[in-house]
């Protein structure tokens, strides 16, 4: 657990470690580079909607370097449940650096009659100068993960669950973490900004915090649903009936956001709670994917490799590149157990 604390900037565990037991922590960083019951929505939301492996690592100067594609990761508890996910990120065909960041972290705990499965996933799409965008997305990813790990995952390990009215809810932790990331990015990367779409998964429940135009989707064998709202100029014009979705695809300001991390001192964070059907998917992705593929194309690609999320993630990125890959492309696919 100490390697995770060190990576996220948390204090070391209180129990001392002898010199003979001390080991170097594996290098783990935000990656550069997404879960049909009746939906539930947190009352605070508006109407809209560390895994140790990574496709890139954050260097000391804040820049990222590309690593090989990941294999599928499976968490298995003593009861046979599994949280299966795949993820892939690519620089695309036009950009010379990857300003996307992503992070994945899963854990299964079983003992004393309790079985707890936990997953946490982030996609962030940086913007700014050549290096400012990737610094902003990597920093925001790290800050959000640090707060979620301390306030949700480590709370589970300490047995601090349920019944305490003083303890923030999962959705409150996510919202506060994104707001904290906004404060730090605004200070440390003043010329950069980033989207953030983050989800904590407990059982079949997905808790999502969202800012910007990266997206979260719920996917089942018979459906695909975009559950977040794009905080973009063109989406706002569509909502005001001043632009059609077809015209928005070619609008000269389609990449302009009115809400993003690092753009203002205070930020509103969309908070969403949804149920993921058994064997269904939560997908998080950057606009480099959804700008190039329709919902139907995304759905059909996943259906062809429904039980292999890593292959599906890599195929989706490959298709976006085949369409020209004008932007960085990042996708996380998380499959929920039966």
For 192, 195, 260, 330, the CA distances from 255, given in Å and listed in that order, are: 15, 12, 12, 16
Instruction: Name the residue range of residue 97's domain.
Output: 2-335
**Which tens digits make up the pLDDT trace of 76-123?**
333 335 689 999 999 999 999 999 999 999 987 776 666 667 899 999
> How much is the pTM?
0.77
The total number of structural domains in the chain stands at 1
In 146-222, the DSSP E strands lie at 193-194, 196-202, 205-211, 215-220
| Cα three-residue angle 254-256-259, rounded to 5 degrees | 130
Residue 170 sits in a domain of what CATH number? 3.60.40.10
CA nearest 1: which of 67, 65, 64, 52?
Answer: 52
**Which tens digits make up the pLDDT trace of 35-65?**
333 333 333 344 333 333 333 444 444 554 4
């Amino acid at each position: 657990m100490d390697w995770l604390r060190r990576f996220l900037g948390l204090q070391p565990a209180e129990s001392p470690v002898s010199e003979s037991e001390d080991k170097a922590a594996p290098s783990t960083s935000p990656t550069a580079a997404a879960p049909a019951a009746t939906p539930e929505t947190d009352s605070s939301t508006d109407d809209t909607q560390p895994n140790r492996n990574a496709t890139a690592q954050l260097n000391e100067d804040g820049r990222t370097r590309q690593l090989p594609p990941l294999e599928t990761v499976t968490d298995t508890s003593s009861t046979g449940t599994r949280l299966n996910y795949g993820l892939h990120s690519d620089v695309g065909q036009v950009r010379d650096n990857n300003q996307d960041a992503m992070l994945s972290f899963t854990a299964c705990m079983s003992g004393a009659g309790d079985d707890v499965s936990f997953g946490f996933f982030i996609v962030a799409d940086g913007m700014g100068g050549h290096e400012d965008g990737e610094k902003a997305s990597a920093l925001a990813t790290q800050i959000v993960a640090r707060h979620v790990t301390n306030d949700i995952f480590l709370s589970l390990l300490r047995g601090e669950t349920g019944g305490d009215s003083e303890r923030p809810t999962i959705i409150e932790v996510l919202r506060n973490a994104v707001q904290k990331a906004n404060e730090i990015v605004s200070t440390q990367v003043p010329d950069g900004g980033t989207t953030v779409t983050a989800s904590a998964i407990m059982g079949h429940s997905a808790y999502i915090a969202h800012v910007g135009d990266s997206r979260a989707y719920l996917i089942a064998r018979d459906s695909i649903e975009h559950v977040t709202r794009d905080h973009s100029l063109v989406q706002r014009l569509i909502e005001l009936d001043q632009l059609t979705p077809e015209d928005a695809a070619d609008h000269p300001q389609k990449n302009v956001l009115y809400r993003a991390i690092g753009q203002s001192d205070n930020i509103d964070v969309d908070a969403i709670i949804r149920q993921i059907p058994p064997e269904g998917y939560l997908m998080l992705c950057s606009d480099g994917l959804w700008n190039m593929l329709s919902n139907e194309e995304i759905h059909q690609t996943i259906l062809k490799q429904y039980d292999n999320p890593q292959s599906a993630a890599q195929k989706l990125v490959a298709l976006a590149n085949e369409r020209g890959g004008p932007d960085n492309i990042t996708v996380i696919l998380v499959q929920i157990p039966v």
